[in-house]
Amino acid sequence: MNQESALTYSKVNHDIIRMLDKPTVKWWSLFIFDLAVLAFGLFCFLYQVYTGLGVAGYRHPVFWAVYITNFVFWVGIAHSGTLISAILYLFRARFRMSIYRISEAMTVFAVLTAGLFPIIHLGRPWSFYWLLPYPNQRELWVNFRSPLLWDVFAVGTYLTVSSIFFFVGMIPDIAAIRDRVKEIPRKIIYTILSLGWKGSTWEWGHYTRAYFYFAAFATPLVISVHSVVSWDFAMSNVPGWHSTIFPPYFVAGAIFSGLAMVITLVVPIRKIFHLEQFITIANFEGMAKMIILTSLIVTYAYVVEFFMAWYSGNPYEWGQFMYRAKGDYALFYWIMIFCNSVVPLLLWFKKVRTNIKALFIISLFINIGMWFERFNIIVISLSHDFEPGGWGLYRVSWVELGVTAGSFAWFFMFFLLFIKILPALSISEIKEILPAPTREAKAR
Amino acid sequence: MIKEQGVFGIFSYIDSTVQAIKKLREADFKNLRVFSPFPSHEIEEALERRESIVRFFTLTGATLGALCGLTLTILTSLDWPIRTSAKPIVSLPPFMIFVFELTVLFGSLATLLGLLINSRLRRNAPRIMYDPRFSEDKFGIAVVCKIEDIRKVEEILKLSGADEVQFEGI
Amino acid sequence: MSEIKKGGSTKPVLSKGEGLITGGIKRRDFLKILGVVGGTAAITGGCSPEPVEKIIPYVIPPDTIIPGIPKWYASTCMECPAGCGILVKNREGRAIKIEGNPLSPINSGGTCARGQAALQGLYNPDRIGGPHTRNSSGRLEPTAWDEAERILVEKIKEIRSKGNGNKIVFLTNNISGSLNRLIDDWVNALGGRHIVYETFSHEPLKEANRISFGINKIPTYNIEKTKYLLSFGADMLETWLSPVQYARKFSEMHGYKNKSMGKFVQVEPRLSLTGVSADEWIAIRPGTEAFLALGIANAILSEGAASVTSGEADKLNRLVKDYKPDVVSLITEVPTETITRIAKEFVESRPSLALGGGAANTSSKSTETLVAINILNYIAGNVGDTVNFGDTLTLSNANSFREIASLVDSMSKGEVELLLIYNVNPSFTLPKTLRFDEALKKVPFVVSFSSFMDETTEQANLVLPDHTTLEKWGDYTPQDSVYGVIQPIMDPVFNTKSIGDVILSISKKIEGLESQFSSNTFYDYLRDSWRGIQTRLAPDKDFEAFWTDKVERGGIYREIAPIQVRLSQEVSTVSFSEPKFEGEGAIYFMAYPSYRYYDGRGANKPWLQELPDAITTAVWDTWVEINPETARKIGVREGDFLSIESPYGNITTQAYIYKGIRPDTIAVPIGLGHKSYGRYAQNRGVNPIEILPVLTDEASGGFAWLSTKVNVSKTGKREQLVKTQDSTSQEGRGIAQAITLKELESGVHEQHELGEKFDMYPPQKYIKHRWGMSIDLSKCIGCGACVTACYAENNIPVVGKGQVAKRREMSWIRIERFYHEDNGFDIRFIPMLCQHCGNAPCEPVCPVYATYHNHEGLNAMIYNRCVGTRYCSNNCTYKVRRFNWFTYNWPEPLNWQLNPDVSVRTKGVMEKCTFCVQRIRFGEDRARDEERNVRDGEIIPACAQACPTKVIVFGDLKDGESTVSHLAKDERGYRVLQEVNTQPAITYLKKVTWDKA
């Protein structure tokens, strides 16, 4: 609490708004490199649209692969953001205050990234809008029984709601920036963005109420979204997909990977902008503990999948899981187990939990592990289902890798812009947890 | 009509602000505008504000969303009845997903609307009766009162420990 | 047209954009073709020599033409010597589909993959577009027909003036019929020789028959009658003699019906596609078949079970006495008890039949082997019953390999001045050591009539491209009982000319011949020769009526009863000894004819290249089959490049590990390894014939295919062997099920419950029909005719080796093969296609309703609505959906073959089997027009139609009387992966196996 007590309201304003100072050369070089990667990704996609989906590595019968893996991965990333900002808000968890803005930003950008992949992976991406139920003279409608359409609505809603949540949360802080900045262009922009926020009790009253409802909506939404995503698989009959455990399994996995990503993002920001006072070890420890929990849930899911495959006596399920552990993709499977089930065990030790470097490295492992979890579920199941005559192997192509790299660039582009344009930490909420200045305190 | 004036006090401490509010209300000055860098319960209590009506917007939006979800799925399915597998044309279990999603979507949008309308947020910088420090570390009370009451108000503010007091025409 | 004026360019004769009916047909001819019924139609249509220019649009539709209504023409397939009868579908003046002619006794409706692919010969983009002559710089350059013919006439005159008429040789394949007669007479008139060369000409068969029965002919075999078939290496279901005919007859004999079926034992070192259909495979030591036959004969005779006169008995006993089963067992590596058992079964289950021949069984001693087999048939009383000498094959007229060799010899000696080559490609099909190419260089003037630029034609001085079979008039007599008519289905695609017309027109310019060859066109000549046939067979009939009738029916089909023959004296003179093998190597080398390419002529047809070989499922390349044991010894895995070294050279190709071949033997399919012959054949695979010695069967002079021992070594190079099915085991998942005869007889087998199971939702309702199918695995021989037919009918693109390597072949129906190691090695085939499930998993997952269940039980696919999420395929239990990864193109004029009733798909959409919905609609519409219900069996999908063994039955499951709904309740019936409860519309009937004794 020492550092916190050293904090004054004005210091909070100062330190956080300081982050928006003129970008350094480092920032620019990073940003331009990012744009270059993004450009390559875009090229790969256009090349694919022009020549046909064949330039991706798909092989019969593996008709979904890296693209859908990325989709699930990014949606997963998104979740912890909402978790931290909404669910922890409802639980009034204090350690969320300093990091929730960053994780909310992460949510919005991750959903923006995830949303691309269902379109990228289409055979005819130019008619993606046929998935929307819009009135047309041919009187064609969409199939509301298809899990893919559930996706369209779930992800769409999720994007809208989390963006609203994100921007509304920032209004008071933007007002604060508006009141600080002098130079004209920025002043005008922030003035517009702040919607003339004055911080009157009148405003605060409605604001807190509305914010509470957003949180209340976001919480079940975030659960539903990843359940729906998991149903893309669970609702099919593919051995290795068709499983009732998927929704909780996926939600846990999503939060797991999301928290890891938050750490991956927050650690460098904290260092670069010297936010040690705001983002404390305690915050990290809180996240670390949740990682342990979710890791255990995920591991449990892995075990249960195997158990059910064996216990059900279903030859296809059992064949599938033996294939995962021993088949052509065994390496990926064991990478997943190592990263998601073994590595997080280190966090049981307080020493590790409280060591930023260690946390950072572990978070990277988890990111990798969770990407492979999705890859394994999708690709291995497809390449080894009911009909041995149809079995085939998948091999990734450079186009898919290019697009994947591009998607990361796309995500980080938004993120880089975010930390330079918008308050990365919540000014007003940090003030809430600071002891309010009183005359008594002064007197003492 | 009577020309009105505003007195405008700026505080550094929350307890003195709360005290000032209480005193003013005792002195029957009900038309107060209080500014704070963060939502403060003390102030809210002191002002005895009633529950925000945003919640009604939310309720309406959510209900509307639920209905839309239901009608959209069912009506379009009936309008273009296509058999897939042996599933019935109107299969409610999957449709419930859309009901839920649209409930959330419309609910949130309505709430946003409610917020914007009720807190009268507009696209312009506050000019009068505002001080940039409110968004940093200062609290403020704006009292709308008749000209003859100005002194009285100023006194109350001063006594309660306002750092400074300003007068502004409305 | 400019291209045509220049001649020869492979651009089709078609002036672009001239309206609806492309393909180039003069209005007059067009009316004639389409206007009149059947054959009389194409009289002038077929053989208009000059390039066609006008193309008629439907401005004023001729009243005889109904756009969209196909016309069918009967003709004869010339893809191999079997001469199956075919019906060719003509739409708006173009041949678009070949089907078997049900009237033809040879194939009675069925075809093979090669027959289906004949269309890709017709429309092959690498066809020779017009006459070519070799210019001063030694390169072939296009020329005009008059010029080309003038050159030939000059040449002939020159040679005759020198009195060297005897140095003219006409080398053709077996073209028995009017053309054969014309060529014979013509060459004789010039004083030259006509030599008939067939790559697989079965000389030993003739010779053996001469020795045993005094008949120097190849008989026909009534396999359908036999109860017990014992084949020594005869690949009768692939290339041997008349594969489609024998496949049909075999299925009659071996298909399970009313609780019984015939037994089939195959004796060969390598389990061939034919062998796969056998109930027992005897992996005999190469070249020792004779002794096995003798051993069996010995056992029969010693039992006194032979049905022969006592005189014959002693005579035969003297022949076989040394070959007691135990002795034979040592030579052949076949267990003694097996020999005695087979002997017992062979005589007891009559009528039986022993076949011999095929590349697997042509050593330097094959005549003796076949004599031994004749003896077997004789003592079992099969000769004159299942062996029919009344109806013999015209293939018997082919010259022997020894005669070909001597021709090559005389060529190299410069004793041939003019060599005319038609329909054969010796520089590919003759072993290198014969040095045909060198000999060819010694021939001053070589004329080729080939339609394709093959290895031989490339070296010709003059190229006079003939029409393909589908563009010209002709006839063909495969066997005595059949006179097949060949009629043009459409006008020539390229600037080609029928060989008959060429011969006749140049005869006009050669003094002494004009009188003898007076007919103006070959069509007239043909009719004249058929007048002869008419006077012979139906003297009382009016010719025109006779001719029209025969052309409509596709020919004359007669029944010829077997004749009784006795054993000749000469048999006793035969002495048996082991054949000799060239080369010091440790491993027998077997080059076997491919059922996809025959002798290599199929290699330029993409459909055949992409048709997976039934056993390996490999495509677009050659491989070498090697036993796992041997592979382990030299440390070879699948895909390793092996160098195969014989004394006459070596070839390098990829290994395929195959348990169905003896450890001391390796096998390579014939057909690929072309140096030219068009884009699809060129520089692809290897030609095993190259390393074979010039070794003949001593008695008959036939080529000894299996006569080499080689060394096999690893090259270290390794690549993915491109094939369409990786797994060989069905993991006990009951995909391709089998049941033993005993189980069926005793009825002890779990009856599969096929009714609607309990379900959350009510079962599907069907208004009028529910289309369904049944597939009888006891008849499927894995020949792949259905696959190719499907390609032809449904505009399925060919994707090429690179894409198949990524498993992106587009075939809607695939023949899956599963290996079974339990009691002996055995392979099962199962045609896998869209099951049109009642509860189709693919349907509900599509977000845009691009696939759905229609009211006739079809799992419909709407290409235009598909956005390509590919979820349907992921959720397909049978993995039978195919995705258009790219937009695939058909090089001009291959695209002329596209079926106008089926839309061509573009990139990004899913596709799959539709049960040939276009045929269903056609049938339903016709029924409606005729105000009746659709008859059972009226609608036949392409796969079912093509199947030579009638494995597939299609019909209405809603009509309880239909064949298919009866079969759906058959005791052998099951549905693949039934437990997933997809309610498939396809019922598979279990394969029936003999219980291993």
What pLDDT score was predicted for residue A125? Answer: 94
Least Cα separation, residue B86 to chain C (angstroms): 5
Provide the residue type at C950 as one letter. Answer: K
C-alpha neighbours within 13 Å on the C-beta side of residue A284: 28
**Nearest C-alpha neighbor of C737 from the set C973, C971, C966, C943:** C973
For residue A83, what is the DSSP state?
A: I
* Tokens of residue C902, six digits: 């089926």
What pLDDT score was predicted for residue C59? Answer: 56
C-beta of residue B112 within 8 angstroms of C-beta of residue A168: yes
CB contact under 8 A, A124 and C909: yes
Burial label for C894, CB within 10 Å (0-12, 13-18, 19+), is buried
**Nearest C-alpha neighbor of C221 from the set C394, C354, C79, C361:** C354
Torsion angle (degrees, nearest 10) of CA A247, A251, A257, A258? 150
Least Cα separation, residue B165 to chain A (angstroms): 17
ipTM computed for the complex:
0.91
Strands annotated E in A247-288: none
Overall CATH class of domain A22-132+141-426:
mainly alpha
User: Is the CB of A272 inside 8 Å of chain B's CB atoms?
Assistant: no
Binding partners of C (≥3 Cβ pairs within 8 A) = A, B
Chain A residues in contact with B12 (beta carbon < 8 A): 437
Interface of A with B in 97-156 (CB under 8 A): 133, 139-145, 150, 153-154, 156
Of the partner residues A60, A121, A316, the one whose CB lies closest to the CB of residue C807? A60
Of the partner residues B82, B85, B87, the one whose CB lies closest to the CB of residue C849? B82
Query: CA–CA separation, C297 vs C372, rounded Å?
Result: 8
Residues whose CB is less than 8 angstroms from the CB of residue C645 and which lie 6 or more positions away in sequence, other chains included: C585, C691, C710, C711, C712, C713
The residue with greater pLDDT, C92 or A443, is: C92
Chain B residue with Cα closest to C840: B85
C-beta of residue C981 within 8 angstroms of C-beta of residue C757: yes
Chain A residues in contact with B97 (beta carbon < 8 A): 150, 153-154, 224, 228
Whether A98 has a pLDDT exceeding 70, the answer reads yes
User: Is the CB of A127 inside 8 Å of chain C's CB atoms?
Assistant: yes
User: Mean pLDDT across the stretch C122-150?
Assistant: 93
Strands annotated E in A54-151: none
User: Is the CB of B93 inside 8 Å of chain A's CB atoms?
Assistant: no
First to last CA, chain B: 14
What pLDDT score was predicted for residue A99? Answer: 83
User: Mean pLDDT across the stretch A408-434?
Assistant: 88
pLDDT band at residue A304 under the 50/70/90 scheme: very high
| Cβ pairs A/B, distance under 8 A | 199
Q: Backbone phi, then psi, for B75, in 5-degree steps?
A: -65, -45
Chain C residue with Cα closest to A387: C878
Alpha helices in C135-202 (DSSP H): 145-161, 178-190
Whether A416 has a pLDDT exceeding 80, the answer reads yes
Whether B60 has a pLDDT exceeding 90, the answer reads yes
Residue among B73, B83, B87, B97 with most chain C CBs within 10 A, to mutate: B83
Query: CA–CA separation, A290 vs A99, rounded Å?
Result: 14
Chain A residue with Cα closest to B76: A141
CB contact under 8 A, B84 and C762: no
What pLDDT score was predicted for residue B4? Answer: 58
pLDDT band at residue C742 under the 50/70/90 scheme: confident
The residue with greater pLDDT, C3 or C960, is: C960
Provide the residue type at C323 as one letter. Answer: Y
What pLDDT score was predicted for residue C40? Answer: 38
pLDDT digits (tens, 9 = 90+) for A62-94: 999 999 999 999 999 998 888 888 887 887 777
C-beta of residue C308 within 8 angstroms of C-beta of residue C382: no
Residue C351, preceding bond cis, omega within 30 degrees? yes
Least Cα separation, residue B148 to chain A (angstroms): 26
Of the partner residues B44, B94, B125, the one whose CB lies closest to the CB of residue A178? B125
pLDDT digits (tens, 9 = 90+) for C571-589: 888 889 989 898 888 899 9
Of the partner residues C806, C845, C867, the one whose CB lies closest to the CB of residue A147? C845
**Nearest C-alpha neighbor of C351 from the set C434, C228, C244:** C228
For residue A376, what is the DSSP state?
A: I
Chain A residue with Cα closest to B120: A203
Q: Backbone phi, then psi, for A392, in 5-degree steps?
A: -160, 160
CB contact under 8 A, C849 and B87: no
pLDDT band at residue C403 under the 50/70/90 scheme: very high
* Tokens of residue C671, six digits: 């057909």
| 3-state secondary structure (DSSP) of residue A131 | helix
C-beta of residue C86 within 8 angstroms of C-beta of residue C121: no
Residue among C851, C879, C888, C909 with most chain A CBs within 10 A, to mutate: C879
User: Mean pLDDT across the stretch B68-97?
Assistant: 91
Whether C518 has a pLDDT exceeding 70, the answer reads yes
What pLDDT score was predicted for residue A443? Answer: 66
| 3-state secondary structure (DSSP) of residue C220 | strand
Chain B residues in contact with A442 (beta carbon < 8 A): 13
Placement of tokens 């089997």 in the chain: C913
What pLDDT score was predicted for residue C954? Answer: 95
**Nearest C-alpha neighbor of C196 from the set C341, C438, C487, C394:** C394
Q: For residue C59, how many other CB atoms are within 10 A of its CB?
A: 7
DSSP string, A153-188: HHHHHHHHHHHHHHHHHHHHHHHHHHHH--SHHHHH
What are the b/e assignments for C364-381, b being 16+ CB within 10 Å? Answer: bbbbbbbbbbbbbbbbbb
pLDDT band at residue C198 under the 50/70/90 scheme: very high
pLDDT digits (tens, 9 = 90+) for C606-627: 999 999 999 999 999 999 999 9
pLDDT band at residue B124 under the 50/70/90 scheme: low
What pLDDT score was predicted for residue C748? Answer: 59
Q: Taking CA C979 as the corner, what is the angle to CA C975 and CA C984, rounded to the nearest 5 degrees?
A: 40
CB contact under 8 A, B105 and A142: no
User: Is the CB of B86 inside 8 Å of chain A's CB atoms?
Assistant: no
Least Cα separation, residue B73 to chain A (angstroms): 7
User: Is the CB of C889 inside 8 Å of chain A's CB atoms?
Assistant: no
Chain B residue with Cα closest to A443: B13
Whether A5 has a pLDDT exceeding 50, the answer reads no
What pLDDT score was predicted for residue C3? Answer: 35
User: Is the CB of C816 inside 8 Å of chain A's CB atoms?
Assistant: yes
Least Cα separation, residue C631 to chain A (angstroms): 23
C-beta of residue C425 within 8 angstroms of C-beta of residue C399: no
User: Mean pLDDT across the stretch C531-555?
Assistant: 90
* Tokens of residue C419, six digits: 């060599």
Residues whose CB is less than 8 angstroms from the CB of residue C318 and which lie 6 or more positions away in sequence, other chains included: C572
Query: CA–CA separation, C254 vs A263, rounded Å?
Result: 71
Query: CA–CA separation, C596 vs C784, rounded Å?
Result: 9
CB contact under 8 A, B132 and A200: no
pLDDT digits (tens, 9 = 90+) for A238-292: 999 998 999 999 999 998 998 899 899 989 988 888 888 888 888 888 889 989 9
Chain C residues in contact with B84 (beta carbon < 8 A): 840, 843-844, 846, 849, 851-853
Whether C47 has a pLDDT exceeding 90, the answer reads no
User: Is the CB of A54 inside 8 Å of chain C's CB atoms?
Assistant: yes
Of the partner residues C867, C874, C880, the one whose CB lies closest to the CB of residue A64? C874
> Model-level pTM?
0.91
Provide the residue type at A28 as one letter. Answer: W
CB contact under 8 A, B85 and C839: yes
What pLDDT score was predicted for residue C58? Answer: 53
**Nearest C-alpha neighbor of C838 from the set C821, C822, C855, C826:** C855
CB contact under 8 A, B104 and A161: yes
Torsion angle (degrees, nearest 10) of CA C784, C790, C792, C794? -160
For residue A76, what is the DSSP state?
A: H
Chain C residue with Cα closest to A62: C874
CB contact under 8 A, B85 and C846: no
Whole-number Cα distances in Å, C832 to A390, C784, C937, C941: 10, 12, 21, 15
Whether C35 has a pLDDT exceeding 70, the answer reads no
pLDDT band at residue B17 under the 50/70/90 scheme: confident
What pLDDT score was predicted for residue C651? Answer: 94
What pLDDT score was predicted for residue C5? Answer: 35
Residues whose CB is less than 8 angstroms from the CB of residue C322 and which lie 6 or more positions away in sequence, other chains included: none
Whether C60 has a pLDDT exceeding 70, the answer reads no
Say what angle helices A201-234 and B92-118 make with each other, to 10 degrees: 160
pLDDT band at residue A8 under the 50/70/90 scheme: confident
DSSP run (H or E) holding C447: strand C445-448
Whole-number Cα distances in Å, C661 to A118, C272, C587, C656, C708: 49, 9, 12, 11, 16
Least Cα separation, residue A386 to chain C (angstroms): 6
What pLDDT score was predicted for residue A4? Answer: 44
Chain B residues whose C-beta sits inside 8 Å of any chain C C-beta: 80, 82-88
User: Is the CB of A203 inside 8 Å of chain B's CB atoms?
Assistant: yes
**Nearest C-alpha neighbor of C94 from the set C135, C149, C52, C40:** C52
| 3-state secondary structure (DSSP) of residue A364 | helix
Domain ranges of chain A: 22-132+141-426
* Tokens of residue A264, six digits: 């991956």
Query: CA–CA separation, C946 vs C950, rounded Å?
Result: 8
Residue A61, preceding bond cis, omega within 30 degrees? yes
What pLDDT score was predicted for residue B5? Answer: 67
| 3-state secondary structure (DSSP) of residue C44 | helix
Whole-number Cα distances in Å, C712 to C166, C634, C953: 46, 9, 46
Query: CA–CA separation, C160 vs C76, rounded Å?
Result: 36
* Tokens of residue A250, six digits: 């996926």
Query: CA–CA separation, C183 vs C189, rounded Å?
Result: 10
Least Cα separation, residue B90 to chain A (angstroms): 9
Residues whose CB is less than 8 angstroms from the CB of residue C881 and which lie 6 or more positions away in sequence, other chains included: C834, C842, C872, C873, C910, C911, C912
Strands C474-476 vs C482-486: parallel, antiparallel or unpaired: antiparallel
**Nearest C-alpha neighbor of C377 from the set C225, C250, C271, C480:** C225
Strands C665-670 vs C587-593: parallel, antiparallel or unpaired: parallel
User: Mean pLDDT across the stretch C382-398?
Assistant: 90
What pLDDT score was predicted for residue C19? Answer: 35
User: Is the CB of B59 inside 8 Å of chain A's CB atoms?
Assistant: no
Question: Considering chain C, what percentage of its residues have pLDDT values greater than 90?
Answer: 72
C-beta of residue A74 within 8 angstroms of C-beta of residue A117: yes
Q: Backbone phi, then psi, for C249, in 5-degree steps?
A: -60, -40
Strands C771-776 vs C986-989: parallel, antiparallel or unpaired: parallel
User: Is the CB of C344 inside 8 Å of chain A's CB atoms?
Assistant: no
Instruction: Give a three-class secondary structure readout of C565-583.
Output: CCCCHHHHHCCCCCCCCEC
Chain C residues whose C-beta sits inside 8 Å of any chain B C-beta: 759, 761-764, 837-841, 843-844, 846, 849, 851-855, 983
Least Cα separation, residue B43 to chain C (angstroms): 53
**Minimum mean pLDDT range among B41-50, B90-99, C19-28:** C19-28
**Nearest C-alpha neighbor of A68 from the set A123, A127, A119:** A119
Burial label for C298, CB within 10 Å (0-12, 13-18, 19+), is buried
Whether C641 has a pLDDT exceeding 90, the answer reads yes
* Tokens of residue C345, six digits: 């079964």
First to last CA, chain A: 19
**Minimum mean pLDDT range among B81-95, B141-155, C259-273:** B141-155
CB contact under 8 A, C764 and B84: no
User: Is the CB of A313 inside 8 Å of chain C's CB atoms?
Assistant: no
User: Is the CB of B124 inside 8 Å of chain A's CB atoms?
Assistant: yes
CB contact under 8 A, C846 and B84: yes
What pLDDT score was predicted for residue B128? Answer: 66
| Mean of the per-residue pLDDT values of chain C | 88
**Nearest C-alpha neighbor of C230 from the set C99, C119, C386:** C386
